[in-house]
Structure 1
């Protein structure tokens, strides 16, 4: 049985270079807001001042981003990345079409249909197009998706090219060829390197971080009181699910509780399918999925999720003696 001061591990997702101190503080502030929402304000000082838990923000962003790179120069579409991105966008559009059917959301459905048309044209013409042209067509798809009301405001600070470049990180992590497999191993090492398997652990992972955490926790020797997944693409069909290791996908055996949260306006998530498509652990633990509704700019951020009492409550309960 794990004993000692609990550990809280944050695992970030797609995006640019991170600052550990800044992001750790922002995630903790969002978790504190969630504690207030859950009427657990008595836990806030213990979280933010460190006497309740030791907090680790696992930063692997430099493995995907070149220091000093700015904007579009940070990433250029690789020929090998195009098929993965097309598949990922296909899965995302399929999910969005289910969320916004024409009968109840005609305007949203038209936007999704427009994006689907652009994606099909990019895929069908890939053989005769250069990588740059395929990239521009795929950027057109993500730009169109950003017109959806739930994410429209995000276009003020994030364009279609930036979204596509960030989504490409998922494919780069899941690439099992020799050089790219080394990248995945290095990412998982960053996540696990500061943990003590003899002490209790709660894990909060977001976006690509849920994919990383899935594989890292299968390698971890310690017990995990709760694993929280936020905005997870784990169940985005064959493009992600079938690439996971170990496979077929199952809950890591050291997890006592797995809670998965998704937001209707989060364009990256695989919705409730995660609980159905990833098998239970040997002890019968599997994901329990719950929807949360956020408001404002760009719902695909960890802090938006952490501000919800439904997310903060199980984290705090897992950390208390």
Structure 2
């Protein structure tokens, strides 16, 4: 039986799952070649090495009248909990970046300081829609830097803020359709891609690391304890994860910020220039599971100004190498 390879994306507009799957596999193939695994590349891209799936859920964030597939972060009649959470998340990410002992380009440092001021204005500068205004203003500052501008591509600060707001919308556990909340519907998309009978390798990026972690917890247990047949995940890989954001993300993870009991190995990768991975050493925050499995974090260094995209991470030999090695080992069993 071929192992199942499940990719879980982060924020953004609705995606073409087939096209995204092809892009992610090609990125892994490039990284595999660089890692000395050229012999396995054709098996990977040809579908012989794994039953690869792309868990796509971006369409679930689409709101009528919203741009970019996300809730528009604009001033409204009342303070939105989504905007408040996004402001807190961005503020922590900006402060962590500014506190990094490594050198910052002058333009980036200036943009980060401007964003921090806009996210944390003087006391009393509040009012209806204040968080929404702070978020859009802060993103405007960040997009002034060429490297950070790629965060939103050619999108406006308002649309970019709306996409970033998907993190808050997921973590605030709202937007019920009468039966399930938005976060439950998102996790269901990931769960549908998992093989309940065979081994799964799960590779998650950005917001997808939160979604995948919670999904794997659900697939390892139920309300009354451990599932009789939990979904097996011998390898879990996280890329550019915000799970270490200690105030806005970590405490909101359900059921808790810990390694699911069905995960046999967890590799976490981060780039120093990735603003999203504000506190990257997840082993400092994530509790190990019953088998003492905890995340093991590795730094990678990508070329280019904007290093957050999943394909940048997947093309790294340090990421693709262990992934291909795990697929090969599972296929030989």
Q: Same fold (TM over 0.5)?
A: yes
Q: Determine if the alignment matches structure 1 residue 312 to structure 2 residue 320.
A: yes
- Determine the C-alpha separation between the residues in 1 that align with 2:142 and 2:39: 41
3-state DSSP class of the match of 2:39?
helix
- Most deviating of 111-120 and 72-81: 72-81
CA contact (8 A) 1:122 1:138 kept: no
Corresponding residue of 1:278? 286
CA contact (8 A) 2:232 2:262 kept: yes
Corresponding residue of 1:109? 109
User: 1:177 offset after TM fit, Å?
Assistant: 4.5
Corresponding residue of 1:166? 163
Corresponding residue of 1:300? 308
- Determine the C-alpha separation between the residues in 1 that align with 2:143 and 2:283: 27
Corresponding residue of 1:39? 36
**Cα–Cα, structure 1 residues 143 and 149, in superposed 2: closer, same or farther, change >3 Å?**
same
Corresponding residue of 2:250? 241
Corresponding residue of 2:223? none
Superposition misfits of 4+ residues, deviation over 4 angstroms:
66-74, 152-156
Q: Which runs of 5+ in 1 are unaligned?
A: none
User: 1:56 offset after TM fit, Å?
Assistant: 0.6
- Determine the C-alpha separation between the residues in 2 that align with 1:122 and 1:71: 31
3-state DSSP class of the match of 1:223?
coil
- Determine the C-alpha separation between the residues in 2 that align with 1:294 and 1:123: 39
1:192-211 alignment runs, 5 A limit: 192-211=191-210
1:1-321 alignment runs, 5 A limit: 4-66=1-63, 70-71=67-68, 75-77=72-74, 79-99=80-100, 104-105=103-104, 107=106, 108-121=108-121, 124-126=124-126, 128=127, 130-131=128-129, 134-148=131-145, 150-152=147-149, 157-177=154-174, 179=176, 182-220=181-219, 221-247=230-256, 249-296=257-304, 298-320=306-328, 321=332
3-state DSSP class of the match of 1:157?
coil
CA contact (8 A) 2:71 2:165 kept: no
CA contact (8 A) 1:223 1:254 kept: yes
Q: Which runs of 5+ in 2 are unaligned?
A: 220-229
- Most deviating of 207-216 and 155-164: 155-164
CA contact (8 A) 1:151 1:299 kept: no
- Determine the C-alpha separation between the residues in 2 that align with 1:122 and 1:262: 33
**Cα–Cα, structure 1 residues 217 and 36, in superposed 2: closer, same or farther, change >3 Å?**
same
3-state DSSP class of the match of 1:151?
helix
CA contact (8 A) 1:150 1:265 kept: no
CA contact (8 A) 1:10 1:56 kept: yes
The one-character-per-residue Cα deviations of 1:84-124 (angstroms, maximum 9, x if unpaired) are 011111111122112266xx437243332221111112874
Aligned length: 312
The Cα RMSD (Å) is 2.4
Which structure: greater helix fraction?
1
The one-character-per-residue Cα deviations of 1:227-249 (angstroms, maximum 9, x if unpaired) are 110010011112100001112x1
- Determine the C-alpha separation between the residues in 2 that align with 1:72 and 1:60: 11
TM-score in terms of structure 2 length = 0.86
The one-character-per-residue Cα deviations of 1:197-251 (angstroms, maximum 9, x if unpaired) are 221110100011000001000112221111110010011112100001112x111
- Determine the C-alpha separation between the residues in 2 that align with 1:151 and 1:31: 24
The one-character-per-residue Cα deviations of 1:282-306 (angstroms, maximum 9, x if unpaired) are 1111111111111225322110100
TM-score in terms of structure 1 length = 0.89
